């Protein structure tokens, strides 16, 4: 009792989900949501059944990136309450996810209110994320991706402890400060025996729209690089102004600019999962 092995066995497995992955980052603003959305669509384009749970209440941008903003899951939204009840709901009581680009989507943003100035307390957010895993009618999925809040605090740690996660993908920029925080996230997953599948290195150089040249923006030190270098790099995504525009308009870059280097990097990353 209390040993790591027992804890591991007690973690709940989601019956209908073949592979449950989390997308995490050490800090905000590195492109975690952009990566989650585009990877989910990349997997769906391979013909896989994919769900995406947006658990980032500090920047619930996924609904906006997918053009489903303000379309709250109206029907049966009372089903997520009470938060403390962590078990599968009967199918008729479950929430219907929205479907966009072949991906089933649910967002904590639908429940906390987009205009709310104060973010929920971390423990409440953690409960909401876990509850949505059980309360949404995901159906049979090949992949369910959870876009985690940034950092390594309560929601992430509790999720690792309570739910069987098949893997984590870490998103970082090449900047030292981001990589130092990413190393903390790596340590959190390793301590919880969650396999870290690899790194998505975002904003990896800038693609100049005028000359097409590649400009490195963020400096890197060897010291920090060595900590993360044990991990495979699933993708290197350049900083591309076009990615911002398409994200803000509700069409992820993999849909709106499929031939761009950014979109191609996501396609390749999806093939490695
Ligand atoms: P996070 O989820 O880590 O907070 P987001 O995915 O919301 O980060 O990205 C933060 C901002 O950076 C968004 O405006 C997004 O459109 C932009 N962004 C992310 N990746 C890229 C990229 N490769 N090129 C250009 N802009 C990007």
Q: For the purposes of burial, counting CB atoms within 10 Å of the CB of 124, is it exposed (0-12), middle (13-18) or buried (19 or more)?
A: middle
Give the pTM: 0.90
* Confidence at 69, pLDDT banded by 50, 70, 90: low
Angle at 151 between CA 131 and CA 158, to 5 degrees: 35
Question: Is 250 labelled as part of a ligand binding site?
Answer: no
Interhelix angle 154-162/176-191, nearest 10 degrees = 30
Q: How far is the CA of 31 from the centre of ligand 1 (A)?
A: 4
What is the complex's ipTM, to 2 decimals? Answer: 0.99
- Using CB distances shorter than 6 Å, the residues near ligand 1 are 25, 28-34, 59, 61, 202-203, 237, 239-240, 243-244, 247, 262
Mean pLDDT across the chain: 85
Give the residue extent of every domain in the chain. Answer: 4-271
Please give the CATH superfamily to which domain 4-271 belongs.
P-loop containing nucleotide triphosphate hydrolases (3.40.50.300)
107-141: pLDDT as tens digits:
988 887 666 667 788 888 898 899 899 889 999 99
Q: For the purposes of burial, counting CB atoms within 10 Å of the CB of 159, is it exposed (0-12), middle (13-18) or buried (19 or more)?
A: buried
Q: Are 145 and 41 in contact (CB under 8 A)?
A: no
CA distance 47 to 142: 10
141-170: pLDDT as tens digits:
999 999 999 999 989 999 999 999 999 999
Q: Are 236 and 204 in contact (CB under 8 A)?
A: yes
Q: How far is the CA of 30 from the centre of ligand 1 (A)?
A: 6
For a ligand 1 pocket test, name from 28, 34, 203 the mutation site with the most ligand atoms within 8 angstroms of its C-beta.
34
174-216: pLDDT as tens digits:
888 888 899 999 999 999 999 999 999 999 998 887 887 888 8
Atom of ligand 1 nearest to the CA of 237: 23
The residue contributing the CA closest to ligand 1 atom 14 is 244
Q: Is the pLDDT of residue 71 over 60?
A: no
Q: To the nearest whole percent, how much of the chain has pLDDT over 70? A: 83
């Amino acid at each position: 009792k209390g040993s790591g092995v027992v804890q591991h066995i007690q973690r709940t497995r989601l019956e209908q989900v073949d592979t449950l992955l989390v997308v995490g980052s050490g800090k905000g603003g590195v492109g975690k949501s952009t990566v989650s959305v585009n990877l989910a669509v990349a997997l769906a384009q391979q013909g896989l059944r994919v769900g995406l749970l947006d658990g980032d209440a500090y920047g619930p941008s996924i609904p906006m990136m997918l053009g489903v903003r303000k379309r709250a899951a109206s029907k049966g939204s009372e089903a997520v309450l009470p938060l403390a009840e962590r078990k599968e709901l009967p199918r008729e009581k479950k929430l219907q996810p929205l479907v966009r680009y072949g991906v089933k989507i649910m967002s904590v943003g639908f429940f906390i209110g987009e205009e709310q100035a104060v973010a929920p307390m971390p423990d409440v957010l953690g409960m909401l994320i876990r509850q949505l895993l059980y309360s949404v009618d995901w159906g049979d999925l090949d992949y369910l991706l959870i876009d985690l809040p940034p950092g390594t605090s309560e929601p992430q740690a509790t999720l690792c402890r309570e739910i069987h996660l098949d893997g984590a993908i870490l998103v970082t920029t090449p900047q030292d400060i981001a990589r130092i925080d990413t190393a903390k996230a790596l340590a959190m997953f390793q301590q919880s025996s969650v396999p870290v599948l690899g790194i998505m290195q975002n904003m990896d150089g800038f693609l100049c729209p005028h000359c097409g040249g590649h400009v490195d923006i963020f400096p890197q030190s060897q010291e920090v690089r060595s900590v993360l270098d044990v991990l495979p790099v699933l993708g290197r995504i350049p900083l591309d102004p076009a990615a911002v525009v398409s994200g803000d308009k509700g069409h992820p870059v993999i849909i709106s600019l499929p031939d761009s280097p950014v979109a191609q990097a996501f396609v390749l990353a999806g093939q490695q999962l």
